[in-house]
């Protein structure tokens, strides 16, 4: 039976870096075992922070303490997205898998196997700011030699490790800044216009055309996409609160999903990430009745052709209102 891309990547990492490096040993499981879905402390590769489980990692390098207890030093998530047509926001979809480890003070690595497509340098900024905000360090790489260097440094002088990580992070963040200058003239307002984002003094609004069916139909992966977009916005603006606006949805839709998606990791992340609030059309003041009616008619429709044009008109009306201040976010207890 042919190996999956995830299994191939996992084996490539272990073969290149080693199953045992100094006092570190690898924890990894065959894909079919499902063991990675268990929490790390229960023998798996899913890291939990403050009661929230993050996506499972592919492998971790661990160290035993004097009591024989296993502690994670590095957690690694890999993807073959660059070989599988994922040139867009699909590259963000697994960012959160190593984030649970980073929140717990562990080094998290998101490895994108080199391929035909280019890595989105937004990921460098996300990881850079996650490192600033969280307890651990987050690194993005397409280079197995980089992973090997980091693992080896974890067995040596901590100062050398920190020096390497700091230099590596800054180098990649500078690459992001160069691309940001090329795309947006280093202007966050230009970024906001092109990325469905509104930037205020103390908060940011990111709006997207999510509908309830995106989270209930088994053939859709909107949960992964929504989580990736959420973390991009959060870690681009770590000094602001993020309102994640879904104008096609209502408060009732959110309540329905809260009840019916209790075991869904992505939904749990969307609803429990600190400093992030999912808001709907019911949380926007002064929306014209005609706009509300139109969004209601479009609530379950794939946005194509005429329906996409109708949605874009509604979106633009709300966007302009929120920018000008004639509309505002309401009914948020945490504001």
List, edge to edge, every strand of the sheet that includes 241-246.
197-199, 203-207, 241-246, 276-280
Q: How many residues does the chain have?
A: 335
Domain boundary among 181, 199, 218: 181
Tell me if 10 is assigned to some domain.
Answer: yes
Tell me if 335 is assigned to some domain.
Answer: no
- At 234-250, the pLDDT tens digits run 999 999 999 999 999 99
64 & 169 share domain: yes
User: Higher model confidence: residue 157 or residue 167?
Assistant: 167
- State both tokens at 201: 């003094």
Tell me if 330 is assigned to some domain.
Answer: no
Question: Are the CB atoms for 57 and 36 separated by under 8 Å?
Answer: yes
- State both tokens at 101: 């480890």
**pLDDT score recorded for residue 219:** 59
DSSP 229: H
Domain boundary among 157, 181, 205: 181
117 & 88 share domain: yes
Question: What is the spatial distance between Cα 1 and Cα 8, in angstroms, rounded to a whole number?
Answer: 13
pLDDT band at 86 (very low <50, low <70, confident <90, very high): confident
Tell me if 331 is assigned to some domain.
Answer: no
245 & 159 share domain: no
Strands (E), the chain: 20-21, 24-28, 46-49, 52-56, 59-64, 70-79, 107-112, 138-141, 197-199, 203-207, 241-246, 276-280
223 & 117 share domain: no
291 & 199 share domain: yes
112 & 213 share domain: no
Tell me if 334 is assigned to some domain.
Answer: no
Of the candidates 225, 228, 248, 247, which has an alpha carbon nearest to the alpha carbon of residue 236?
Answer: 228
For the chain, the average pLDDT equals: 93
Domain boundary among 134, 161, 181: 181
Domains: count for the chain:
2
201 & 84 share domain: no
**pLDDT score recorded for residue 308:** 96
- At 109-132, the pLDDT tens digits run 999 999 999 999 999 999 999 999
pLDDT score of 304 more than 80: yes
Please enumerate in sequence order all residues whose Cβ is within 8 A of that of 241, keeping only pairs 6 or more positions apart, or say none.
202, 203, 204, 275, 276, 277, 334, 335
53 & 201 share domain: no
Tell me if 329 is assigned to some domain.
Answer: no
Question: What is the spatial distance between Cα 253 and Cα 258, in angstroms, rounded to a whole number?
Answer: 9
Name the residue range of residue 228's domain.
189-324
pLDDT band at 2 (very low <50, low <70, confident <90, very high): low
Question: Are the CB atoms for 143 and 154 separated by under 8 Å?
Answer: no
Tell me if 299 is assigned to some domain.
Answer: yes
Question: What is the spatial distance between Cα 138 and Cα 128, in angstroms, rounded to a whole number?
Answer: 7
pLDDT band at 221 (very low <50, low <70, confident <90, very high): low
122 & 195 share domain: no
**pLDDT score recorded for residue 68:** 87
Tell me if 224 is assigned to some domain.
Answer: yes
Does an H or E element contain 151, and which?
helix 144-153
Question: Are the CB atoms for 62 and 73 separated by under 8 Å?
Answer: yes
Question: Are the CB atoms for 280 and 240 separated by under 8 Å?
Answer: no
CA distances (Å), 141 to each of 11, 102, 124, 267, 276, in order? 17, 16, 9, 27, 27
165 & 226 share domain: no
pLDDT score of 30 more than 80: yes
**pLDDT score recorded for residue 335:** 36
Does an H or E element contain 223, and which?
helix 222-236
Of the candidates 233, 334, 321, which has an alpha carbon nearest to the alpha carbon of residue 281?
Answer: 321
21 & 99 share domain: yes
Question: What is the spatial distance between Cα 112 and Cα 146, in angstroms, rounded to a whole number?
Answer: 12
């Amino acid at each position: 039976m042919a190996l999956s891309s995830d299994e191939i990547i996992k084996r490539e990492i272990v073969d290149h870096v080693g199953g045992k490096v100094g006092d570190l040993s690898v924890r990894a499981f065959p894909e079919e075992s499902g063991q990675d879905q268990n929490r790390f402390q229960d023998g798996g590769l899913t890291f939990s922070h403050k009661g929230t489980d993050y996506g499972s990692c592919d492998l971790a390098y661990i160290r035993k303490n004097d009591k024989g207890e296993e502690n994670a030093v590095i957690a690694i998530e890999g993807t073959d997205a660059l070989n599988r047509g994922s040139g867009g926001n699909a590259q963000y979809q697994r960012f959160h898998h190593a984030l649970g480890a980073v929140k717990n003070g562990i080094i998290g690595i998101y490895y994108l196997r080199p391929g035909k497509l280019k890595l989105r340098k937004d990921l460098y900024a996300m990881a850079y700011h996650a490192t600033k905000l969280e307890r651990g360090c987050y690194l993005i790489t397409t280079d197995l030699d980089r992973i090997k260097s980091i693992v080896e440094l974890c067995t040596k002088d901590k100062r050398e490790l920190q020096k390497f990580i700091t230099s590596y992070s800054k180098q990649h963040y500078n690459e992001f800044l160069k691309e940001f200058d090329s795309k947006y003239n280093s202007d966050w307002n230009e970024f906001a216009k092109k990325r469905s984002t509104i930037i205020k003094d103390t908060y940011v609004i990111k709006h997207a055309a999510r509908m309830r069916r995106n989270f209930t139909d088994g053939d859709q992966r909107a949960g992964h996409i929504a989580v990736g977009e959420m973390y991009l916005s959060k870690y681009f603006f770590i000094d602001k609160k993020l309102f994640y606006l879904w104008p096609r949805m209502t408060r009732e839709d959110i309540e329905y999903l809260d009840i019916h998606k209790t075991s869904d990791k992505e939904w749990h992340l969307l609803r429990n990430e600190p400093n992030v609030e999912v808001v709907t059309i019911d949380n926007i003041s002064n929306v014209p009745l005609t706009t509300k009616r139109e969004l209601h008619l479009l609530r379950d429709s794939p946005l194509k052709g005429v329906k996409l044009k109708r949605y874009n008109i509604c979106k633009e009306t709300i966007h302009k209102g929120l920018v000008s201040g004639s509309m505002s976010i309401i009914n948020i207890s945490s504001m």
